[in-house]
């Protein structure tokens, strides 16, 4: 069994940590090799890496064929404001990139696609005052959420027309040791924990002080691994979160529980453009994937600190 993972990032490597345990062969596909990040996340695991662009359909097809891939986990994409910084490029990477993955799956006969989506697809302007289910309206209007909604719609169409197995995971904000090239609200957690380890004051822009739902990387890795391996579930979309919304002060309090002298400075600027209201309803993932989150913020932060210490000392996370 061989799985192609598009993107050498936090979610793809979290899945890889699980897949390696069961002897899965893995091929990473990314326009930047990020060999050091792979080593930090996966140690000396024997994985392959292909340095190509997600917008290069022939290269995707060639990679899948050359490595005998039967499952694809698609994680590549720009996140949050990175999409709108250069909107045409952002749409190309997120939407055209996903379309290329779908077409490559069709052309090569890949059995299953696990598509990594986001809770950002939901139009919270139309969500009721109740936990957000997978049936809530999509398309929040902002560039990131709309491109992710477009990805999902294309994936649903391709699956209907061509019959491959499909699971789409709508992740809450994922945190864990990362490089954050593509952007992520989880980056501020790393900034805070690194500052705490160095006995420094963390400086956080005001627009990153939103209420959000966070999920730890290891919980996400298990969810993706289940979506890639269990018999095809009845539904296509699954919320992956903790069913709890945390305030920015909750994050600060959790860090201070580990580092009592920790301090944070809010850099004045624009207020947060996004702030989660109701949490995700994760009952479908529990029922059909057999997945439940295992990490509280405190437990996740403790392991995160251990990973950061290991990296600072030059070892794998």
pLDDT attached to residue 114: 98
138 CB burial (10 A radius; 0-12, 13-18, 19+):
buried
The residues, any chain, with a CB within 8 Å of residue 43's CB and separated by 6 or more, are 316
Whole-number Å distance between alpha carbons of 213 and 192:
17
Q: Which of 10, 152, 159 is nearest to 76 (CA)?
A: 10
CA-based R_g, the chain, Å: 19
The conformation of residue 231, written as its DSSP 8-state character, comes to S
Q: Which of 22, 109, 9 is nearest to 49 (CA)?
A: 9
- For the chain, the structural domain boundaries read 2-179+214-244+277-294
What is the full per-residue pLDDT of the chain (317 aa) written as tens digits?
A: 899 999 999 999 999 999 999 999 999 999 988 899 999 999 999 999 999 999 999 999 999 999 999 999 999 999 888 888 889 999 999 999 999 999 999 999 999 999 999 999 999 888 767 899 999 999 989 899 999 999 999 999 999 999 999 999 999 999 999 876 645 667 899 999 999 999 999 999 998 999 999 999 999 999 999 999 999 999 999 999 999 999 999 999 999 999 999 999 999 988 887 767 789 999 999 999 999 999 999 999 999 999 999 887 765 65
Domain 2-179+214-244+277-294 classification at class level: alpha beta
pLDDT attached to residue 271: 86
Q: H/E element holding 39?
A: helix 35-42
Whole-number Å distance between alpha carbons of 261 and 185:
24
């Amino acid at each position: 069994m061989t799985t192609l993972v598009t993107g050498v990032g936090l979610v793809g490597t979290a899945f890889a940590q699980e897949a390696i345990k069961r002897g899965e062969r893995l091929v990473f596909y990314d326009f930047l090799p990020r060999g050091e990040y792979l080593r930090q996340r996966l140690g000396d695991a024997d994985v392959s890496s292909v340095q190509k662009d997600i917008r290069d359909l022939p290269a995707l097809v060639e990679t899948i064929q050359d490595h005998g891939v039967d499952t694809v986990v698609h994680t590549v994409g720009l996140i949050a404001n990175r999409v709108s910084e250069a909107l045409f490029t952002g749409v190309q990477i997120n939407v055209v990139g996903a379309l290329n993955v779908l077409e490559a799956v069709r052309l090569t006969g890949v059995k299953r696609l696990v598509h990594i989506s986001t809770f950002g697809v939901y139009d919270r302007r139309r969500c009721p005052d109740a936990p957000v289910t997978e049936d809530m309206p999509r398309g929040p209007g902002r560039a990131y959420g709309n491109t992710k909604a477009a990805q999902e719609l294309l994936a649903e169409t391709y699956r209907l027309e061509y019959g491959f197995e499909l699971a789409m995971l709508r992740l809450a904000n994922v945190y864990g040791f990362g490089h954050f090239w593509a952007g992520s609200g989880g980056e501020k957690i790393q900034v805070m924990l690194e500052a705490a380890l160095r006995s420094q004051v963390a400086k956080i822009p005001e627009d990153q002080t939103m209420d959000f739902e966070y999920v730890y990387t290891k919980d996400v890795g298990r969810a993706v691994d289940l979506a890639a391996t269990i018999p095809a579930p009845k539904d296509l979309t699954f919320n992956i979160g903790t069913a709890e919304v945390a305030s920015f002060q909750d994050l600060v309090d959790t860090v201070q529980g580990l580092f009592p002298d920790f301090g944070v400075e809010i850099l004045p600027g624009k207020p947060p453009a996004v702030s989660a209201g109701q949490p995700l309803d994760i009952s479908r993932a529990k029922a059909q994937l057999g997945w439940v989150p295992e990490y509280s913020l405190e437990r996740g932060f403790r392991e995160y600190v251990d990973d950061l210490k290991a990296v600072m000392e030059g070892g794998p996370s």
